[in-house]
Amino acid sequence: MKYLITVWTLFYSIVLLATDYHIDTVRMTSTVLNETRIILIFTPDGLQNNDSVSMLYLLDGEFAKTRYDAIMKEQSVIPPVGIGIINVNRNRDMLPVKEPDKFLNFIETELIPKFEANYQITRRILFVHSFAGGFAIYSLINKPGLFDQYIASSPTPIMEMTDSLQYRQLDNRLDKKTGFYFSYGSEDMKQVKKWGEVLYKNLANMNFEYLRWKRDIFQGENHNTSDRNAIIKGIIF
């Protein structure tokens, strides 16, 4: 019986690795943003309504297909449904000094309800890179618990979001285990590496009840190449 289970597990993993998917494009009118957004939906073939799935939200939707492909090729897990959000005004939506709260409100009150209505959601994940990576940390601090897992790839700017007190307060506001994964390349931009190191040192001195976190540095990767490693490692963190 043990042998049969092992064989079935191996077969199941191989099937999942070979799983195909299809992409749908939706034009969504947002009342919160007062504009129409283009959303890409990446759905694994064979998925049925009311199935249990993970939802992966991919900001910078222009790069969503490449990043979703990386997951499909590398992971021996049930693939998530991917939601890619095409940019209209990236700086406005993601920089802390602009209008990130409005964009976050759009994701929470309009985007998530629309695309999660037909599934049983087991895990909600946010993946973002660069400016968007900074937005992930902003979201974690200012809207704790909206996502079960936050993946911030080469996040910037994060100077105002490295203070350990913010993470102590965050942990006190959480009521469930929440993952926070951030990473960057060894050849990344100086400001990314500098403030990423500050954040790492501040978190390393703290104990949390609900927040679990990890930092990775990818040797030889730069700001434009670190995202693929980040999404692969972050998904399984």
CATH number at residue 116: 3.40.50.1820
Tell me, what's the pLDDT at 16?
A: 41
Full residue range of the structural domain in which residue 78 is found: 2-236
Supply the DSSP symbol for 34: T
Q: How many domains does the chain have?
A: 1
Tell me how far CA of residue 125 lies from CA of 16, 59, 93, 234, in angstroms.
Answer: 20, 11, 19, 10
> Model-level pTM?
0.89
What per-residue confidence (pLDDT) applies to 236?
A: 86
Q: Tokens for 68, please give them.
A: 């979703």
Nearest to 38, CA basis, from 83, 81, 85, 82: 85
Please report, in tens digits, the pLDDT of each residue of the chain (237 residues total).
Answer: 433 333 333 333 333 444 589 999 999 999 999 999 999 999 999 887 778 889 999 999 999 999 999 988 875 567 899 999 999 999 999 998 899 999 999 999 999 999 998 888 999 999 999 988 899 999 999 999 999 999 999 999 999 999 999 999 999 999 999 999 999 999 999 999 999 999 999 999 899 999 999 999 999 999 999 999 999 999 988
Q: Where are the alpha helices (DSSP H) in the chain?
A: 2-17, 64-74, 90-94, 100-106, 112-116, 131-142, 164-173, 190-204, 227-236
Q: Going by C-beta distance under 8 Å and a sequence separation of 6 or more, which residues neighbour residue 94?
A: 59, 100, 103, 128, 131, 132, 134, 135
